[in-house]
């Protein structure tokens, strides 16, 4: 991905080569901060309110103040004007570890869309760091501390896969490093439930809204990894992926079916209807 246009730092437009934050910022030193990724379609950000709601929730969990909601929305819309793109909103922790938010920076970046393979091959990898139903001080926050997730993805890519699929030490399906997972068994659309501590995905929530139109009963819960190998279809969902069929789990090939395409089509229709774009 490449940066499109200037980067906004606290609303000030700065050229990419001049965009900086303090080396003392705990976002850099400790991974303390929060972020959101928003998809712009033709200059219109999809479900911006839900993304900002989640950003506010993350910041509250992390005891960090945010800029005014109207400013955040204006900054995202400014960068969304680049057209079809990805927008990253990053709120750093600031320069005082005892008082998060002191001299923090809010950064808004528009980037070109990455190339997403039409079919995805996943490598299941155990995630001992994942909440997996346990509650901690950062439960529910979309924090900057994505190091373990990135390491899992890089390991999967090094082994020849497109991404990792995280599962718990007990063998339950969790999520991807940057995406949600779901699967179809008969007329059920199953996915890990919120009680597992998986991130509340904006895209997966939208897919769950349209799934009944396809005749599917949405059934979140705790499921073992073996459930995916026996599923009719498996799909990955994210802001940038939309809905993509999974065609391999480790060494096991999965046959793509019609429901992934149907769900993606319904999702795209939902996006078009809400944003008034084609």
The yes-or-no answer to whether 7-111 and 120-275 have a common fold is no
Q: Structural domain boundaries of the chain?
A: 7-111, 120-275
The pairs formed by 229-233 with CB atoms below 8 angstroms and a separation of 24 or more are 230/185, 231/183, 231/184, 231/185, 231/190, 232/183, 232/184, 232/185, 232/186, 232/257, 232/259, 233/183, 233/184, 233/257, 233/259, 233/260
The torsion of the CA quartet 148, 38, 195, 252, rounded to 10 degrees, works out to -60
State the Cα–Cα distance between residues 45 and 162, nearest whole angstrom: 26
State the Cα–Cα distance between residues 73 and 8, nearest whole angstrom: 12
CATH class of the domain comprising 7-111:
alpha beta
CATH class of the domain comprising 120-275:
alpha beta
State the Cα–Cα distance between residues 177 and 120, nearest whole angstrom: 14
Give the pLDDT confidence of 107-157 residue by residue, as tens digits. 999 999 998 899 999 999 999 999 988 988 988 899 999 999 999 999 999
Q: Is 0.85 topped by the overall pTM?
A: yes
Residue 124's nearest CA partner among 185, 195, 173 is 173
Q: Are 144 and 27 in contact (CB under 8 A)?
A: yes
Share of the chain above pLDDT 70, in %: 100
State the Cα–Cα distance between residues 31 and 90, nearest whole angstrom: 11
Give the pLDDT confidence of 211-261 residue by residue, as tens digits. 999 999 999 999 999 999 999 999 999 999 999 999 999 999 998 899 999
């Amino acid at each position: 991905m490449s940066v499109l246009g200037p980067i906004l730092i606290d609303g000030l437009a700065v050229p990419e080569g001049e965009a900086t934050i303090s080396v003392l910022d705990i976002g850099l030193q400790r991974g303390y901060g929060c972020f959101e990724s928003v998809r712009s379609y033709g200059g219109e950000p999809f479900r911006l309110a839900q993304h900002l709601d989640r950003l506010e929730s993350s910041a509250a969990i992390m005891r960090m103040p945010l800029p005014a909601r109207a400013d955040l929305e204006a900054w995202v819309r400014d960068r969304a004007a680049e057209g079809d793109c990805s927008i990253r909103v990053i709120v750093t922790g600031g320069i005082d570890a005892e008082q998060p938010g002191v001299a923090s920076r809010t950064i808004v970046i528009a980037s070109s869309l990455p190339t997403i393979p039409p079919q995805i091959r996943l490598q299941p990898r155990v995630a001992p760091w994942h909440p997996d139903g346990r509650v901690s001080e950062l439960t529910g926050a979309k924090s900057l501390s994505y190091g373990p997730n990135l390491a899992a993805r890089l390991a999967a890519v090094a082994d020849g896969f497109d991404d990792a699929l995280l599962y718990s030490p007990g063998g339950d399906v969790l999520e991807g490093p940057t995406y949600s997972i779901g699967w179809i068994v008969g007329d059920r659309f199953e996915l890990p439930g919120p009680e597992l501590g998986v991130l509340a995905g904006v895209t997966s929530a939208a897919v769950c809204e349209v799934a009944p139109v396809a005749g599917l009963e949405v059934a979140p819960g705790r499921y073992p990894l073996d459930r995916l190998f026996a599923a009719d279809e498996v799909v990955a969902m994210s802001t940038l992926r939309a809905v993509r069929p999974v065609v391999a789990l480790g060494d096991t090939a999965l046959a793509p079916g019609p429901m992934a395409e149907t769900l993606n089509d319904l999702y795209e229709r939902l996006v078009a209807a809400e944003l008034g774009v084609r």
